[in-house]
Amino acid sequence: MNWEVVIGLEIHAQLATKSKLFSGAATSFGAEPNTNTTLVDLGMPGALPVFNKEALRMAVMFGHAVNAEIGMTSVFARKNYFYPDLPKGYQTSQMDHPIVGSGHLDVALEDGTVTRVGITRAHLEEDAGKSLHEDFQGMTGIDLNRSSTPLLEIVSEPDIRSAKEAVAYVKMIHSIVTYLGICDGNMAEGSMRCDVNLSLRPKGQQEYGTRTEIKNVNSFRFIEKAIYSEIERQMDILEDGGKIVQETRLYDPDKDETRSMRSKEDANDYRYFPCPDLLPIILEQSYVDDIKASLPELPTQKAKRFEEEYSLSEYDSGVLSSSRAMADYFEIAAKVSKNTKLAANWVMGEVSKFLNQENIEINQSPVSADALGLLLSRIEDNTINGKTAKDVFQCMWLGEGSADEIIDKKGLKQVTDTGAIEAMIQGVIDANPAQVEQFRASEPDKRKKMIGFFMGQVMKASQGKANPGLVTPILNKLLNG
Amino acid sequence: MFDQSIRSLAQKLRQKEFSSVELTQEYLNRISSIDPTLNSFITVTDELALKQAHAADEAIAGGNTSPLTGIPVAHKDLFCTEGVLTTCASKMLHNFIPPYESTVTGRVKMAGAVTLGKTNMDEFAMGSSNENSHFGAVKNPWNLDTVPGGSSGGSAAAIAAGLCVAATGTDTGGSIRQPASFCGITGLKPTYGRVSRFGMIAYASSLDQAGPMARSAEDCAYLLQSFAGFDSSDSTSAETSTQDYLESIEAPLTGLRIGLPKEYFGEGLDSNVAQIVMNAIKEFEKLGATVKEISLPNLNLSIPSYYVIAPSEASSNLSRFDGVRYGHRCSDPQDLLDMYMRTRAEGFGKEVQKRIMVGTYALSEGYYDAYYVKAQRIRRLIKEDFVRAYQDVDVIMGPVAPTTAFGLGEKTSDPVAMYLEDIYTLSVNLAGIPAMSVPAGFSNGMPVGLQIMGNYFDEAKLLNVAHKYQQATDWHTQTPSLVKGA
């Protein structure tokens, strides 16, 4: 049978506030267990939550970025369940009145098509702590550093039809939240986590099939793989005439399979009710409007501007605007070097290559955007050629100094004296009489190919310092002469 | 010495008639001789009290005083006190020493008062008789065979017996006013949000409110002044500025408009209590007030509404007592579920377990709309009743409780009769308005309180009305023979 895949995603983005959603404790990652905590995060008797207004501002920013209705009155509700790392016995979340209502995103796919994904809602909630099962001799350790860290849970409509679409959507959300500066987007540290709701139905059928939820998938690659594996699992069952059990599943990246965590029957009755310790959040229109007006340029807007302003291709614009850090890096390099196309090629080429090799982000690059810009400007003004620039870049990457310092120290300045170049070319011609003879005996179209050999020899003779722009005409003249 | 007002004690302390250390020691001696009979304290903080008294004496010598400097007070054992055992009268917290101070007790401390200890109460403030305490029932100093009321029964009994000058209490459905009425003292439940709940172990967060308990309205005013007001640590704390509760306390009552809700004088009200309340009203007329019958038609819905909302919130508030981080944990848990179940079965008393179950049920899927949502709708109606009434009257008066203090064990087997005790007090909490209980007479030797309900944030008016009444009467100065005898 021909099956249609139906996917809805719930993304938890940890908001980049300095302090927690309901306490003044720091949100920094990696502190000693239970040190980033206050009475509130520990669930002490008598402790009361105080709402972090910064989280509110961030949630409203996100709402605007996905064209959503903003909840002018939103209400915190308690989601009640027992778990050792849930210190109060309830999670403070939002239920009936979320801060962000329905919106949508137009997601561009690799093949150039665009699909619209509806966003049901996004709500604020606090994270739980962590249970540590190792090193406690059969006991469980509890670390409440993460307790009450602010999360924005972004719930999509079941509008996604493939693993590729899902990943493109998640990447877009990732790029939006990092652009807005409301989430660091670090999936490995759990700053962004994804739950995948997936079902299959015969193509053309209106009703949805029974779905499963795959919890806490924490990388783009795992999202894609988990979806493929779950589609396969469900399809096998359905093709065999079986039924899908509604349940929560976990993706195991080592075995590349999902496995059952708990069925619907075991699901908690969360007994949601409005949290009596927190007043409803009532927003003024001016507050919402001010945030909208001060929204930074978003990825799609930036890509469009790059295309128009810098005459870059759609593809290049998309790559360069995929993260705010990369876009900023590119724009600075472009401005300093005064050659946008060159800057674009370098950021997507050499810089990305080095970043990938070391598996670091562009904002961690040892070569700053300014430094790269200065290097590129040395290509622009013919001080060095592109090939030498790559060597200089490597030295810069290793911390050997600025482009000018390295060029100076290593004597890499390009030879631009035409007399010296002519002498060098003459030397190459004299040293290769057979090749010269062959060249001169050839048809003009063949000559073009052969000239590469002479160019290579000249560059070798000059240790790469000859300006190729000057070499070509002189070489042509002398060879043809 | 044990029946004097805060004003008089403060004056004598300043005039060096006695020191705070001497005063405190007298109270501590008295507690050790009388309280074994009453059981009104869970913890007596002798050492801390004398240390604070010493500091108070130094402050007085330095001329650096507030009206409460050196005055011995007690706190209901649900306010977290840093370094001092705080049990909520529960086995669950029998060993809990908070690492922090509640806003209320911290402010009282800042005002220079001396803390004698922590008073007994119904477990987690759930009860109307103070019989639901892990540390045993409290006895009424007026008759040791009767209850002091609850849940702030320990505070009320301690004040009536002269074991402290004043005390803090909390009132979720009448827990300050009903014990005040039963023990013949004065108690005030402020407007919801007037006093910070930070550090108060929560029972029902949308109803809980801390307030002062003392012999007189004037003493209540001094205590309330020290701890009322906005607190950024409590999001539900009101930003409305506090009044000076003593400034207008002497204002004449000429022209005061009193509303008498006819629903407060219907079936179930003891005829003696009704008579005493009506006598008090006559006294107010003599003081220049006018009286008008009004109606609060949804009074009878306050009990079902309260007994859905309060347990619902409680079921969630008490989830944190899970044996993981503090308090009681069962021995030898086999696994997580076993730890949860035995810890909570052992740690909570029967009444608390009952309310957790009722609340859990009311919030369950499929029942939420029928119970919780409906109860909230009733709550709005009750609030509207009061808002409408205050368009025509300044204060509303009536009984605090249908009867005087009942016998120990008399109602423990009849929960509905026990819940009906709260008929005249619950609607005040549901509406969020302030209300007082003021001694107004005796029925068969037992005290009867008059309830005075005020408009939102009108505590100053309530205290003024109660104070003028107390100047014209002497019910609040009566002391049980226990006090006289000692």
- What b/e readout covers B179-218, taking b as 16+ CB neighbours within 10 angstroms? bbbbbbbbbbbbbbbbbbbbbbbbbbbbbbbbbbbbbbbb
Q: Which chain B residue has its CA at the smallest distance from A52's CA?
A: B235
- B199–chain A nearest CA distance, Å: 4
Q: What is the mean pLDDT of residues B376-396?
A: 98
| Per-residue tokens: B17 | 């008639």
| Cβ–Cβ under 8 Å, residues B133 and B88 | no
Q: Which CATH class is domain B6-258+391-485?
A: alpha beta
Average pLDDT over all residues of chain A:
92
- B100 contact A CB<8A: yes
| Sign of the alpha-carbon torsion through B326, B327, B333, B338 | negative
Q: Which residues of B261-272 are buried (b: 16+ CB within 10 A; e: fewer)?
A: bebbbeeebeeb
Give tens-digit pLDDT for A309-338: 999 988 889 889 988 899 999 999 999 999
User: Nearest Cβ partner of A43 from B315, B325, B368?
Assistant: B325
CB-CB under 8 Å, A269 with B319? no
Report A:128-147 residues touching B (Cβ under 8 A).
140, 142
Cβ-defined contacts of B386-392 (< 8 Å, 24+): B386/B296, B386/B427, B386/B431, B386/B433, B386/B453, B389/B259, B389/B261, B389/B294, B389/B295, B389/B296, B390/B455, B392/B257, B392/B259, B392/B292, B392/B294
CB-based burial, A214-245: b 16+ in 10 Å, e otherwise: bbebbbbebbbbbbebbbebbeeebeeeeebe
Q: Percentage of chain A surpassing pLDDT 90? A: 71
The beta-carbon neighbor of B320 closest among A89, A142, A279 is: A89
Q: What is the pLDDT of residue B39?
A: 98
Mean pLDDT calculated for residue range A5-26: 97
CB atoms B320 and A45 under 8 Å = yes
* B151 in active site: yes
Q: Which stretch of A94-108, A203-217, A450-464, B255-269 has the lowest confidence by average pLDDT?
A: A450-464
User: Partners of A281 in the beta sheet?
Assistant: A74
> What's the pLDDT at A143?
95
Which CATH architecture describes the domain A418-480? Orthogonal Bundle (1.10)
Which residue in B258, B271, B211 sits closest to B451, CA to CA?
A: B258
Nearest CA in chain A to B103: A46
d(CA A472, CA B318): 84
3-state secondary structure chain B: CCCCCHHHHHHHHHCCCCCHHHHHHHHHHHHHHHHHHHCCEEEECHHHHHHHHHHHHHHHHCCCCCCCCCCEEEEECCECECCECCCCCCHHHCCCCCCCCCHHHHHHHHCCCEEEEEECCCHHHCCCCCCCCCCCCCCECCECCECCCCCCHHHHHHHHCCCCCEEEEECCCCCCHHHHHHHCCEEEECCCCCECCCCECCCCCCCCCEEEEECCHHHHHHHHHHHECCCCCCCCCCCCCCCCCCCCCCCCCCCCEEEEEHHHHCCCCCHHHHHHHHHHHHHHHHCCCEEEEECCCCHHHHHHHHHHHHHHHHHHHHHHCCCCCCCCCCCCCCCHHHHHHHHHHHHCCHHHHHHHHHHHHHCCCCCCHHHHHHHHHHHHHHHHHHHHHCCCCCEEEEECCCCCCCECCCCCCCHHHHHHCCCCCHHHHHHCCCEEEEEEEEECCEEEEEEEEECCCCHHHHHHHHHHHHHHCCHHHCCCHHHHHC
Catalytic residue among B76, B91, B109, B411: B76
> Are the beta carbons of B236 and A277 separated by less than 8 Å?
yes
Indicate if the pLDDT at residue B486 is higher than 80. Answer: no
Say if residue A28's pLDDT is above 90.
no
User: Do A90 and B319 count as a contact with CB atoms less than 8 A apart?
Assistant: yes
Q: What percent of chain B has pLDDT over 70?
A: 99
Q: A-B interface: how many C-beta pairs under 8 angstroms?
A: 101
Interface test with A, best of B233, B371, B374 (most A CBs within 10 A): B233
Q: How far is A78 from chain B (nearest CA, A)?
A: 8
Residue A132 to chain B, least CA–CA distance (Å): 14
d(CA B182, CA B184): 6
**B182 and B216 in contact (C-beta within 8 Å)?**
no
Report the chain B residue with the minimal C-alpha distance to residue A82.
B319
pLDDT tens-digit map of A125-184? 999 999 988 878 888 899 999 999 999 999 999 999 999 999 999 999 999 999 999 999
Give me the mean pLDDT over the A197-213 stretch. 95
Q: CA torsion sign, B1 to B2 to B8 to B11? A: positive
CB atoms B324 and A39 under 8 Å: no
Low-confidence winner among A253-262, B161-170, B320-329, B461-470 (lowest mean pLDDT): A253-262
The predicted structure's pLDDT at residue A1: 79
- As for the ipTM of the complex, it is 0.96
- Chain B contact probe: residue of A42, A48, A52, A132 with most B CBs at under 10 A: A48
Residue B262 a catalytic site member? no
Other residues' Cβ atoms within 10 Å of the Cβ of residue B57:
20
Which residue spans within A164-256 are E strands per DSSP?
192-202, 212-217, 247-252
pLDDT tens sequence across A91-113 = 999 999 999 999 999 998 878 78
Chain B nearest C-alpha distance from A238 (Å): 31
Closest residue in chain B to residue A45, using alpha carbons only: B201
Give the dihedral of Cα atoms A355, A359, A360, A361; nearest 10 deg.
Answer: 70
Asked if B79 and A46 come within 8 Å (Cβ–Cβ), the reply is yes
Flag whether residue B103 sits within 8 Å of chain A, measured between CB atoms: no
What is the pLDDT of chain B when averaged over all its residues?
A: 96
Residues of chain B with Cβ-Cβ distance to A44 below 8 Å are 80, 98-100, 326
Q: Do B326 and A84 touch (CB under 8 A)?
A: no
More confident site: B146 or A480: B146
Q: Which two tokens stand for residue B305?
A: 């509404």
| B248 tagged catalytic | no
Q: Which residues pair with B140 in a beta bridge?
A: B143
- Distance (Å, whole) CA B50 – CA B44: 11
Q: Is the pLDDT of residue A481 over 70?
A: no
Q: How many CB atoms lie within 10 A of CB B409?
A: 12
For residue A84, give the chain B residue with the closest CA: B324
The pLDDT value recorded for residue B484 is 59
Best B94, B209, B312, B324 residue to mutate vs chain A (most A CBs within 10 Å): B324
B78 pLDDT above the threshold of 70: yes
Give yes or no for A90 touching B (CB within 8 A): yes
Extract the tokens encoding B113.
């008062």
pLDDT value for B483: 65
Q: Which of B155, B175, B216, B312 is catalytic?
A: B175
Chain B interface includes A82 (CB < 8 A): yes
CA dist., res. B32 & res. B21, Å (int):
16
Where in chain A are the domains?
A: 3-289, 297-409, 418-480
Choosing among A78, A83, A277, which should be mutated to test the B contact, i.e. which has the most B CBs within 10 A?
A: A277
**Residue B81 pLDDT exceeds 60:** yes
Residue B95 contacts A where some CB pair is shorter than 8 Å: no
Judged by a CB distance cut-off of 8 A, whether residue B35 touches chain A is no
> What's the order of all strands across the beta sheet hosting A76-80?
A90-94, A76-80, A273-274
- Does the CB of B206 have a partner CB in chain A at under 8 Å? yes
Lowest-confidence range among A107-111, A268-272, B86-90, B239-243? A107-111
Q: What average pLDDT does the segment B198-205 reach?
A: 98
Could you read off the pLDDT of B26-68 as tens digits, one per residue?
Answer: 999 999 999 999 999 999 999 999 999 999 999 999 998 899 9
In angstroms, the CA B446 to CA B466 distance is 20
